[in-house]
Amino acid sequence: MFREKIKVLDCTIRDGGLINNHDFDLRFVREVYKALSEAGVDYMEMGYKNSKKLFSAKEYGKWKFCEDDDIKKVIDGIKSNTKISVMVDVDRVDVEDVLPRKNSPVAMIRVASYVKDIDKAIFLVNHFADKGYETTVNIMAISRALDNELTEALEQLEKESKAKVIYIVDSFGALYQETTEFLIKKARSIVKTKEIGMHAHNNQQLAFSNTIEAIIHDANFVDGTVYGLGRAAGNCPLELILGFLKNPKFDIRPILDLISKEFVPLREKIEWGYIIPYAITGILDEHPRAAMALRNSDKKENYREFYEKLVSEVGE
């Protein structure tokens, strides 16, 4: 038995791009798209739709901008039912860059927002919905959201937004399953006309179990990345989600091939996964940026000092 409504979104290239300035080459992205298509994954998110007025195309790879022409080069000639998604950040997108859905290879636009920016997120998501896109609002840093403010944001999203899905995003990898249950149930109780989604980070090796927990409590959109690739500790491994879900439309084998051929070699070049400084920021409910800086320093294995520094910074 399976729940047909569950949709799997792969954000390997988007979240993985946060490690390498979104500079994956076309061949690699095509291999990912091909494998996801064969595996029956519902959506593939390629990157961010940022304004080139704000970020230099010389400093970042093309998946920082996700222009339609670059996306077309990825999908050209590959048989697929996998829909394309891009993410936008509040204040970083020029809505004029986004063509109407019927003229674009993109099917879904996801708006990432902190609770405090929810009005801006609703403006954006409604704009994209009016252009014909499937849309989501992804509420970031949920482990730091104050309960009353989160309640208000969820009520606004339910009443005022045209988003199809509201995502809970555990940006810091700080949630345990009890809090995941609380948040998904809370969202479900307020957001009655839309789907709920879960995007988890793996700092404490809980991304997969929190994703299962969300599914148990009726989230129907779940995010994963191939081999858990993603900033810092990375994300929920897509291959584990496919192993768990019983929908016969999914096939894990193309993803196993892809990991063997592309991701094992990639892991030799860039770092992500269960690494103690990321576990520490997860335990302390902190953004991983201090841990990322540590990993780029000559004190990269100096865990105790890092922990004591973070703890000492907590204060009144």
Query: For a copy of itself, which residue of 18, 107, 129, 252 counts as binding (CB under 8 A)?
Result: 252
In 146-281, which ranges are E strands? 165-170, 195-200, 221-224
Reading the block at residue 9, the tokens are: 């979104």
| Interatomic CA distance for residues 306 and 16, integer angstroms | 25
- Hey, CA dihedral for 123, 128, 130, 135, is it positive or negative? negative
Nearest CA-CA partner of 218 in 266, 175, 168, 256: 168
Asked if 262 is part of the footprint of a copy of itself (rule: CB under 8 A), the reply reads no
| Interatomic CA distance for residues 143 and 65, integer angstroms | 28
Query: For a copy of itself, which residue of 137, 166, 212, 232 counts as binding (CB under 8 A)?
Result: 212
Nearest CA-CA partner of 278 in 306, 298, 311, 299: 306
Contact letters for a copy of itself, residues 142-181 (x by CB under 8 A): ----------------------------------xxx---
Asked if 279 is part of the footprint of a copy of itself (rule: CB under 8 A), the reply reads yes
Nearest CA-CA partner of 237 in 261, 215, 259: 259
One-letter amino acid of 7: K
Please identify, using beta-carbon distances, which residue of 129 and 276 lies nearer to a copy of itself: 276
Stretch that binds a copy of itself, among 61-69, 99-107, 119-127, 255-263 (CB under 8 A): 255-263
| Interatomic CA distance for residues 18 and 48, integer angstroms | 10
Query: For a copy of itself, which residue of 259, 292, 294, 310 counts as binding (CB under 8 A)?
Result: 259
Nearest CA-CA partner of 237 in 249, 248, 252, 247: 252
Asked if 283 is part of the footprint of a copy of itself (rule: CB under 8 A), the reply reads yes
Query: For a copy of itself, which residue of 10, 213, 223, 286 counts as binding (CB under 8 A)?
Result: 213
| Interatomic CA distance for residues 251 and 187, integer angstroms | 31
Least distance between a copy of itself and beta carbon 205 (Å): 5
Contact letters for a copy of itself, residues 181-210 (x by CB under 8 A): ---------------------x-xxxxxxx
Asked if 239 is part of the footprint of a copy of itself (rule: CB under 8 A), the reply reads yes
* Interaction site with a copy of itself (CB under 8 A): 176-178, 202, 204-210, 212-213, 216, 227-228, 237, 239-240, 243-244, 252-253, 256-257, 259-260, 264, 273-274, 276, 279-280, 283, 301-304, 307-308
